Amino acid sequence: MLNFAFLSAPQKHVFSSYISRHTPLHPTVQNPNFHSKFESLASGVCKASEFPSGYGGLREKASRGKRVLAVVSSEPVVKSEGSGRRREESGEGFDAIVIGSGIGGLVAGTQLAVKGARVLVLEKYVIPGGSSGFYQRDGYTFDVGSSVMFGFSDKGNLNLITQALEAVGCKMQVIPDPTMVHFHLPNNLSVRVHREYEKFIQELTSYFPHEKEGILKFFGECWKIFNALNSLELKSLEEPLYLFGQFFQKPVECLTLAYYLPQNAGDIARKYIKDPQLLSYIDVECFLVSTVNALQTPMINASMVLCDRHFEGINYPIGGVGGIAKSLAKGLVDKGSEILYKANVTNIILDENGKAVGVRLSDGREFFAKTIISNATRWDTFGKLLKGEVIPKEEENFQNVYVKAPSFLSIHMGVKAEVLPPDTDCHHFVLEDDWTKLETSYGSLFLSIPTVLDSSLAPEGRHILHIFTVSSMEDWEGIGREEYEAKKQFVADEIICRLEKKLFPGLKSSIDFMEVGTPKTHRRYLARVDGTYGPMPRKTPKGLLGMPFNTTGVNGLYCVGDSCFPGQGVIAVAFSGVMCAHRVAADIGLEKKSPVMDTMLLRLLGWLRTLA
Ligand SMILES: NC(=O)c1ccc[n+]([C@@H]2O[C@H](COP(=O)([O-])OP(=O)(O)OC[C@H]3O[C@@H](n4cnc5c(N)ncnc54)[C@H](O)[C@@H]3O)[C@@H](O)[C@H]2O)c1
Ligand SMILES: CC(C)=CCC/C(C)=C/C=C/C(C)=C/C=C/C(C)=C/C=C/C=C(C)/C=C/C=C(C)/C=C/C=C(\C)CCC=C(C)C
């Protein structure tokens, strides 16, 4: 029998609430099979049985030489109710609280934990990952977001997912994808982006032989940028000791990147390419990266994607994309930090000097830390979590340069395997007959069939089809429940019809399972305002110049994720996590810093952004 007499009153309260909540059918687990299903998700060497104790485990902790029973993560005791003193004040608080467990938040959290910081991640939903999460239905494991994964190889400096996992002792098994995407475009332009660069260039030039030189020159310039990026050690561009160190060690590469920082891919493509159809093709390539055309896509981001797919390649993690977040969450807890699910942050708490010192949850609980990192979008962070506060000038600038990209409609389907022709590629992009429809709602279709690579994601004899397309919140608001359901069915039917015509005859009759998500679904489950896909330039941007890094105008508050430099994409938000952790670590004394140089660099960067 355990004797709990040594627990203080608040600890007893926490413990009894833990016991009552952690019955086999935990009410936070909406799906009673969730736990076992989640555990069964394959994730390489991170054993599934080692589910983060953050999901409500009890563990023993050493504290000042005494062994005390501590409740981990389901209810970290932060505010001592008796004395009214915060742990932070008594020297026991967290170094950082991360709001949200998207890949950006988890990478920031784990990188800090590895540096010795004590981190608390607060996630609104019941599992980690946000748009890189997963869900399971009827024997299918669906990726919430895209299944095209960069950053998983063993070489170079840009394999940020491999590095993030390695930092916490995890490695995932991956399956190399021979084709990043198969484009089905107007005028029967059908281009496969092969893993091998030469094969891809050969295929593209077979459609545009007269532009061979232009194609090689454009991609050549992309490789110049990619190679410069790949040669740097990637850390915070807001930390002067690192930044100037890199300039000193790799001056040519840094100057190359500085030169391209304010440039867009469309302008560079136009230097070499004249054929309007080929320029439209490059628009489509960029649309995948940024949901806007090439003239609005930063050249650094375009180069990163257009080259990395041939350098590291696209690799799918066995068991699904959700395994990445699951492994990072486990790694975080292994490193002595904590993650708490069903923790909906409603406010960031500022002290009397306007410094961010804590957060309040929708159930009234408060947690305090030296620094607060928000993985919510900047619109949510400054519009909701800091509601009532004056919005800092830098955020006003950001909102002048960037608007919220529309959301998307997603269809997750299970289909009979026979409907797919042999050798079907894993990822497809369909824009049937009109280039001008590229950026319009429902104009183009993204389609992934991850079971082509990993059949374990679906029951035997079945495949997963995940289709998504641009859709705006305005389309779905102000209608009643019945109309909403009928509209979902109608829009999905139209899309299925298009795919039947273009790719898979008989698709409709082969459907075994189907679930449609709208912008409202994405707003609700990803906690992203209007379900937005992320920031999109209001007009032609100056490359990446206007994209904010991680510090904010509020002392102690940092942002991470896709509304920070360099923008959308799992690998991009992983980089923002690495940058953020480095800057925070310097600010809390875990990394070297120079306060004088900090002030100068942050002012300089602030000024540069005003030029965007
Ligand atoms: N193939 C791909 O490249 C691919 C696939 C999937 C996702 N993605 C990318 O991932 C990027 C998004 O990653 P991200 O790191 O910015 O975050 P995210 O939006 O994926 O996750 C944010 C997390 O924060 C949580 N959250 C938000 N507000 C909260 C609050 N107030 N309290 C508690 N929790 C809260 C959400 O529930 C969510 O889990 C997107 O840009 C998308 O492109 C890319
Ligand atoms: C600071 C100053 C001012 C200056 C200095 C100079 C320098 C040094 C600089 C540097 C820089 C850097 C480092 C940068 C970096 C960058 C990076 C890393 C970037 C990255 C990016 C990435 C990206 C963008 C990615 C993306 C991706 C994506 C989005 C994906 C997606 C996908 C999809 C959607 C798919 C599709 C699908 C189908 C088809 C189905």
**Tens digit of each residue's pLDDT (9 = 90 or more) over 417-471:** 999 999 999 999 999 999 999 999 999 999 999 999 999 999 999 999 999 999 9
Tell me, what amino acid is at 413? M
From 142, 163, 237, 291, the mutation candidate for ligand 2 (largest count of ligand atoms within 8 A of CB) is 237
The predicted structure's pLDDT at residue 235? 97
Residue 348: enclosing H or E segment and its boundaries? Answer: strand 345-350
pLDDT the model gives residue 4: 35
pTM of structure: 0.88
Question: Which comes out higher in pLDDT, residue 337 or 1?
Answer: 337
Between β-strands 94-99 and 119-122, what pairing exists: parallel, antiparallel or unpaired? Answer: parallel
What are the backbone angles phi and psi of residue 284, rounded to the nearest 5°?
-65, -45
Ligand 1 center from residue 200 Cα (angstroms): 31
Q: Look at ligand 2, atom 26, and give the residue with the nearest C-alpha.
A: 569
* Ligand 2 atom 8: residue of nearest CA: 254
CA of residue 567 to ligand 2 center, whole Å: 7
Position 410 scores a pLDDT of 97
Nearest to 123 by CA among 329, 320, 322: 329
| CA 537 to ligand 2 centroid distance, Å | 15
Distance CA 31, CA 27 (A): 9
pLDDT band at 67 (very low <50, low <70, confident <90, very high): very low
The whole-number pLDDT of residue 270 equals 98
446 in contact with ligand 2, CB cutoff 6 A: yes
State the distance from the centre of ligand 1 to the C-alpha of 583, rounded, in angstroms.
21
Report which protein residue has its CA nearest ligand 2's atom 5: 258
Per-residue model confidence as pLDDT tens digits over 83-100? 333 444 333 589 999 999
Would you place residue 478 in the very low, low, confident or very high pLDDT band (cuts 50, 70, 90)?
A: very high
Q: Is 568 in the pocket of ligand 2 (CB under 6 A)?
A: yes
Which numbered atom of ligand 2 lies nearest the CA of 568?
29
Pocket of ligand 2 contains residue 237 by CB under 6 Å: yes
State pLDDT tens for residues 169-190.
999 999 999 999 999 999 999 9
In the predicted model, is pLDDT for residue 103 greater than 50? yes
**Distance, CA 305 to ligand 2 centroid (Å)?**
7
pLDDT level of residue 129 (50, 70, 90 thresholds): very high
Would the CB of 284 count as within 6 Å of ligand 2? no
How large is the average pLDDT for residues 568-584?
A: 97
pLDDT at 121 over 60: yes
pLDDT on residue 592:
93
What pLDDT was estimated at residue 328? 98
Whole-number percent of the chain with pLDDT over 90? 83
Average pLDDT, the chain: 87
Give the mean pLDDT of 600-610: 93
Say if residues 576 and 565 touch (Cβ distance below 8 Å): yes
Q: Is the pLDDT of residue 62 over 50?
A: no
pLDDT computed for residue 43 by the predictor: 33
Rounded to the nearest whole angstrom, what is the distance from the C-alpha of residue 286 to the centroid of ligand 2? 11
Distance 142 CA to ligand 1 centre (A): 16
| Dist. CA 596 → ligand 1 center (Å) | 34
Give the whole-angstrom CA distance, residue 394 versus residue 403: 15
* Cα 40 → chain centroid: 23
Higher pLDDT, 88 or 258: 258
Q: Is the dihedral of CA 172, 372, 123, 16 positive or negative?
A: positive
Which of the four pLDDT bands, split at 50, 70 and 90, describes residue 16? very low
Ligand nearest the Cα atom of residue 605 = 2
Q: Distance between alpha carbon 466 and the CA centroid of its chain, in Å?
A: 18
For ligand 1, atom 30, which residue shows the shortest CA distance?
345
Beta-carbon neighbour count of residue 352 at 10 Å? 6
Q: Give per-residue pLDDT as tens, 518-543.
A: 999 999 999 999 999 999 999 999 99
Q: Is the CB of 448 under 6 A from ligand 2?
A: yes
pLDDT at site 2: 33
Q: Identify which has the larger pLDDT, 582 or 90.
A: 582
Q: Which ligand 1 atom lies nearest to the CA of residue 385?
A: 31
Question: In angstroms, what is the span from residue 413 Cα to ligand 2's centroid?
Answer: 30
> What is the residue with the minimal CA distance to atom 20 of ligand 2?
572
Q: For residue 552, give Cα distances in angstroms to 133, 373, 393, 396, 606.
A: 27, 10, 10, 11, 10
Residue with tokens 């998700």: 41
Ligand 2 pocket check for 122: Cβ under 6 Å: no
Q: Which residues pair with 350 in a beta bridge?
A: 356
Q: Work out which ligand 1 atom sits closest to the CA atom of 146.
A: 5
User: Which residue has the CA at smallest separation from atom 4 of ligand 2?
Assistant: 258
Residue 181: CB within 6 Å of ligand 2?
yes
Helices (H), 335-467: 378-380, 393-401
Average pLDDT over residues 188-216: 98
Arithmetic mean of pLDDT, 604-609: 93
Please report the pLDDT score of residue 389 as a whole number. 79
Per DSSP bridges, beta strands 140-143 and 356-361 are unpaired
In terms of phi and psi (left: phi > 0; alpha: psi -120 to 50; beta: otherwise), the region of 130 is left
241 lines ligand 2 (CB under 6 A): no
Closest-lying ligand to the alpha carbon of 232? Answer: 2
Cα 313 to averaged position of ligand 2 atoms, centre (Å): 15
Residue 612 has a pLDDT of: 86
Q: What is the pLDDT of residue 334?
A: 96
Q: Report d(CA 95, CA 442) in Å as an integer.
A: 44
Task: Give mean pLDDT, residues 340-346.
Answer: 98
**DSSP alpha helix (H) spans, 265-342:** 265-272, 276-290, 299-311, 322-334
| C-alpha–C-alpha distance, residues 161 and 168, integer Å | 11
Structural tokens at position 289: 């990266």
- Ligand 2 nearest-atom number relative to CA 160: 18
pLDDT, average across residues 128-148:
96
State the pLDDT at residue 63.
29
- How far does the centroid of ligand 2 lie from the alpha carbon of residue 310, in Å? 15
- Closest-lying ligand 1 atom to the alpha carbon of residue 125: 37
Task: Say whether pLDDT at 252 is over 50.
Answer: yes
Does 369 score more than 90 pLDDT?
yes
pLDDT for residue 501: 96
The confidence score (pLDDT) of residue 80 equals 32
pLDDT tens for each residue of 388-421: 878 899 999 999 999 999 999 999 999 999 999 9
Residue type, 406: P
Residue nearest ligand 1's atom 26 by CA: 100
434 burial (CB, 10 Å; 0-12 / 13-18 / 19+) is exposed
Atom index in ligand 1 nearest the CA of residue 525 equals 37
Q: Ligand 2 centre and the CA of 105: distance in Å?
A: 17
Counting ligands in written order, the one closest to the CA of 431 is: 2
Beta-carbon-side half-sphere exposure of residue 430 (alpha carbons within 13 Å):
21
Choose one of 261, 311, 466 to mutate for the ligand 2 pocket test, by most ligand atoms within 8 angstroms of C-beta.
Answer: 261
What are the pocket residues of ligand 1 if the criterion is a CB atom closer than 6 Å to any ligand atom? Answer: 99-105, 122-125, 130-132, 145-146, 148-149, 343-345, 375-376, 380, 526-528, 534, 561-562, 568-570, 573
CB of 468 closer than 8 Å to CB of 408: yes
Question: How far apart are alpha carbons 25 and 587 in whole angstroms?
Answer: 42
**pLDDT of the residue at 253:** 98
Residue 7, pLDDT > 60, answer: no
Atom number in ligand 2 closest to CA 447: 40
